[in-house]
Structure 1
Amino acid sequence: MRTVAAVAAFGGLLFGYDTGVMSGALLFISPEFDMTAAQEGWVTSMLLVGAAVGALLGGRIADWLGRRLTLIIGGLIFITGSLWCAFAGSIASLGAARTFLGVAVGAVSIVVPMYISEKSPAGVRGKMVSLNTFMIVVGQLTAYLVNSVLAGTGSWEAMLGMAAIPGVILTVGMIFLPDTPVWLARQGCMEEARATAARAGMGLDELSAAEDGRGSRGGGGEWAAFRAHRWIRLTVIIAAVIGVIQQITGVNAIIYFAPTLMNEVGMSVENSIYTSIVVGVVSVLACWVGLQIIDRVGRKRLLLIGLSGNVISLVVLSVTYRAAEGNQGLALVSLAVMAVFIAFQQAAVSPTTWLLISEIVPVKVRGLGMGLAGLALWVANWAVAQFFLPMVEALSATGTFLIFAVLGLAAVGFVATLVPETKGHSLEEVGASFRRRFGGDVSVG
């Protein structure tokens, strides 16, 4: 099971690398193409636009072709898109390549948690699915380190093209792995599904809802089920809000703009660049801790701890950052508070949100539901990246951090009220709890 999860999680590494690499590569791309600030923002954000499309389509394609084949196609797009980025000869070509690459990022961000959750026993599902989140932050740190190593050469082409290597590993690795028992059951291949489930140590109850949902596979059936059952609609909406919650306290504002924020309060350009590595190292260490505790602490409790820590960190950061201008000591204190914020996010919030989405979306609308949740997450990601710096300019960094803190408090209330604990429960049991809660027919899978 660990081998299966590790290979599939290379999709997470690609996700992390491609979202992190532009922070350094853009320093060399911009002067070569004489880019304006608007063009820099456009090239960077096109990955997120493609990811939103990929997230929406990825789940549907995974229902049609299977999780395994969808990940193989995603790996091929990663390889092609990375090489296209490396050989782009114009701003338009680079933007198109980033959009193409983003489709794979979005699709893989949905299908990898889906694939792992559908092949994991309930007792270790949290740890296995969270391995994907761990690989995302490893990918981001890898991008920062590659940028640092290649900075002396100025080779942005190599920075962007390096993503082709893990793309090859994902593609080749998935060729030798079977599809999930849940998907096989939905295709009517019950004998193969039972054999695959037995090898993974899963209970056969996981397959009952999948077999019941055979008639809904394909776009029309999923939409019909979505429209027909109130409990399904409400469950998918909760999953989508969980996706937004991952972004709502501004984590990617810190990841994308930490060097800029530190430079604004007087830290040198050279030292500011290294803040990305600090953020990356903290992310990896914190995510590793989260990986070890998620199946013991529980998803809901860990998410509430993480969001509460985020809120406190943002309030403290709003104070220290305002006082840090021209004061190197307070600038370092602000960086330390950012690191604490990232630690809460990556140990608790990020892994539990991806896991909960993969666990609560009903099998009957698996592709559609996870696609909509992924779309919500990526749109929120884009909004934070697009509007953070204008908000800082209009409201100050202090005001912006406080807005994120208020949104974090709202997220705490939402999770405490509407998100169930899924620790130790099969996917069928999780679905049954939502049916009971929202008044659905218990026979509907």
Structure 2
Amino acid sequence: MDKQGKQHSFLRTIILISTFGGLLFGYDTGVINGALPYMSRADQLNLNSFTQGLVTSALLFGAAFGAVFGGRLSDYNGRRKTILYLAVLFFVSTIGCALSPNAIIMVIFRFLLGLAVGGASVTVPTYLAEMSPAESRGKMVTQNELMIVTGQLLAFTFNAVIGNVLGEHPHVWRYMLPIAAIPALFLFFGMLKVPESPRWLVSKGKKEDALQVLQKIREKKQANSELQEIENAYVQESKMDKATFKDLTVPWVRRVVFLGIGIAVVQQITGVNSIMYYGTKILQDAGFQTEAALIGNIGNGIVSVVATFVGIWLLGKVGRRPMLITGLAGTTVTLLLIAIFSITLEGSEILPYIVLALTITFLAFQQGAISPVTWLMLSEIFPLRLRGLGMGVTVFCLWGVNFLVGLTFPVLLDSIGLSSTFFVFVVLGIGAITFVAKCLPETKGLTLEQLEQSFRSYSGGSSKVLNNNKTIG
């Protein structure tokens, strides 16, 4: 293999190893789907509908804080070292969940696991973006999204196999959870062999180290050129006054942050994670036995992976607004059909198969349209000076709404039933469509500078003086 081939091979190795963080993200959020019915039994953790929601959503609550502080930790310690820490946290908290003797201990370890999930959700994409060549950055960063849905598919598959083989064993759920410890080990030992991000090394004044890293994954001429670009960008950013919460008094800044929060909330109120976390319970309520419901969930996982590929392809072909509105219309109609059929076909043998087909259709719209647009638009709407504030607030809100959905869904299911619960999500879906249609601008084909100018113009071109006489806008 020539030198260039070795560079490409090493870069592929870096991407594969680091995206194990995404795989863990997916597995740990998906495994609870199949484990929950077994751990809820009276002879196990004896969970009611509220404690089921608490066990599930504790991870999401932890992820909200992990996402906020993970970025700061990686800025301080480096991307590579932070991912190493996260791998250890993934391993320890996974084993802790598997060995939990009661619900309280389970909630504590699920929260710790959430810190790792949230940290990985911001640190791994950052590391990938900073290691990837500019011309293929989008493709490489989206590989992390594919690993997330692949992790969920693996969780559903292992749940089905273990549930059907060991379903009568009282501790079957304790065999489902610790499987995630294996990719955590791969992530830890793999990250020991890969380099630190050159972007972070430059930020710490280690230019020679950054050049050595770049020369391992780029041609010599490209490495020197990219180092110069990184240095120039870092100098510009260090002179730039970052936005703070005080700047929310500026109308156009407030509007951009509001739009970011809206996009994040829209993705979650579709009810997607009610299916990803409670798919087995939904199919049980529809009429499947537990073992059959576990097998049915594999279909949800497969469609999520395939739809993610389709969604990434569509991003280059279709505008953001029509893609998002189409996705929301699809998910809302699908939920409406689930609600209607749950009433009209209650108790019939065909109902569980109809519900399974509709959840698969729902995920095709969600993962093929809504989720890809969400993360792309969040990366597009915030100007550089607003990015830290904007992404911090919106990602926290995204995980916060995710937490509320995870906490309340089993309670709603238990108190008002399957059909009424989905009618609630239908109303929320109509609200999401209205928000996108009335408030969200089209961002496709516009540069970040053009988007910033359009936001300022919308508010009458207002800008506000910051510290050191610098302005937002």
- TM-score, structure 1 length as denominator? 0.84
**Secondary structure, in 3 states, of the residue corresponding to 2:244?**
helix
> Structure 1 residues 24, 389: closer, same or farther in 2, change over 3 A?
closer
Contact (CA 8 Å) 2:129, 2:140: kept in 1 or not? yes
The aligned counterpart of 1:35 is 46
Asked if 2 retains the 8 angstrom alpha-carbon contact of 1:130 and 1:351, the reply is no
Q: Give distance in 2, aligned partners of 1:420 and 1:112.
A: 29
How big is each residue's C-alpha offset from its partner over 1:172-225, in whole Å with a ceiling of 9 and x where there is no partner?
Answer: 4444144264x56655677848995955998988886653332569xxx65367
Residue 356 (structure 1) aligned to one of 374, 377, 384 = 377
Partner of 1:293: 314
CA distance in 2, matches of 1:230, 1:16: 38
1:129·1:355 contact (CA, 8 Å) conserved in 2?
A: no
Distance, in Å, in 2 between the alignment partners of 1:285 and 1:295 is 17
Match in the other structure for 1:310: 331
CA contact (8 A) 1:137 1:280 kept: yes
Task: Report the AA paired with residue 234 of structure 1.
Answer: R
Q: Structure 1: how far apart are the matches of 2:77 and 2:177? A: 29
Residue of structure 2 in register with 1:102 after alignment: 114
Q: 2:179 aligns with which of 155, 162, 174?
A: 162
Q: For residues 328 and 110 of structure 2, what CA distance do their matches in structure 1 show?
A: 31
Alignment of 1:112-127 (within 5 A): 112-117=124-129, 124-127=136-139
Q: Deviations over 1:116-170 (max 9, x none)?
A: 4455567655443332222211111111222233333444334222212222333
2:85 alignment counterpart: 73
1:142 maps to what in 2?
154
Q: Does 1:239 align with 2:255?
A: no
- Counterpart for residue 261 of structure 1: 282
Deviations 1:10-45 (A, max 9, x none): 222111111111232334434454423144333222
1:389 has 2:410 as partner: yes
Shift of 1:286: 1.4
Per mean C-alpha deviation after superposition, the further-off stretch among 422-431 and 100-109 is: 422-431
Q: Please state how far the C-alpha of 1:313 moved relative to its aligned partner.
A: 1.7
TM-score, with structure 2 as normaliser: 0.79
Deviation string, structure 1 residues 344-389 (Cα, Å, up to 9, x no partner): 1011112221233234344335444323222111111111122223
Amino acid at match of 2:238: R
For residues 85 and 127 of structure 2, the distance between their equivalents in structure 1, rounded to whole angstroms, comes to 14
Q: Identity of paired residues, percent?
A: 38
Q: Secondary structure at the match of 1:36?
A: coil
- Cα deviation 1:36-57 (Å, max 9, x = unaligned): 3144333222111211221222
Q: Which amino acid aligns with 1:412?
A: I
In structure 2, the residue matched to 1:63 is: 75
Q: Which amino acid aligns with 1:352?
A: V
3-state SS of 1:88 partner: coil
* C-alpha separation in 2, matches of 1:436 and 1:120: 34
> 2:17 matched to which residue of 1?
7
Query: Structure 1 pair 187/369, CA: closer, same or farther in 2 (3 Å)?
Result: farther
Per the alignment, do residues 146 and 271 of structure 1 end up closer, same or farther by CA in structure 2, a change over 3 Å counting?
closer
Tell which deviates more after alignment, 68-77 or 202-211.
202-211
Q: Is the 8 A contact 1:14 1:105 kept in 2?
A: yes
Query: Match of 2:235?
Result: 211
Q: Which has the greater radius of gyration?
A: 2
Structure 2: state its 5+ residue gaps. 1-10, 465-469
Contact persistence 2:56–2:277 (CA under 8 A): no
Instruction: Give the aligned residue type for 2:111.
Output: T
SS at match of 2:71: helix
Supply the AA of the counterpart residue of 2:185: V
Query: Which amino acid in 1 is paired with 2:421?
Result: T
| AA matched with 2:146 | F
**Measured at CA, do residues 201 and 340 of structure 1 come closer, stay the same or move farther in structure 2, by a change above 3 Å?**
farther
Comparing 25-34 and 74-83, the one that deviates more: 25-34
* Secondary structure of the corresponding residue to residue 317 of structure 2: helix
Which residue matches 2:347? 326
Q: How far did 1:294 drift?
A: 2.5
Residue 269 of structure 1: how far off its partner (Å): 3.4
When residues 36 and 259 of structure 1 are mapped into structure 2, their CA distance, relative to the original with a 3 A threshold, is: closer
Q: 2:211–2:223: 8 Å Cα contact kept in structure 1?
A: no
**Range that drifts further, 246-255 or 1-10:** 1-10
Q: Using the alignment, how far apart are the partners of 1:233 and 1:185 within structure 2? A: 32
Q: Give the whole-Å Cα distance in 2 for the aligned partners of 1:194 and 1:418.
A: 47
Mapped contact 2:247–2:253 kept (Cα < 8 A): yes
Q: Kindly state the Cα deviation for residue 278 of structure 1 after the two structures are TM-superposed.
A: 1.9
- Provide structure 1 residue ranges, at least 5 long, that are not aligned to the other structure: none
Name the CA shift for 1:93/1:263 in 2 (closer, same or farther; >3 Å): closer
Q: CA 1:429–1:225 in structure 2 vs 1: closer, same or farther (change >3 Å)? A: farther
CA separation in 2, counterparts of 1:62 and 1:422?
29
Once the two structures are superposed, residues 382-413 of structure 1 have per-residue CA deviations (whole angstroms, 9 ceiling, x without a partner) of: 11122223334555433432332332233234
2:366 is aligned to 345
1:86 and 2:120 are equivalent in the alignment: no
Q: 1:424 deviation in Å?
A: 6.2
Partners of 2:314 and 2:389 in 1: CA distance: 30
Displacement after TM superposition at 1:108 (Å): 1.4
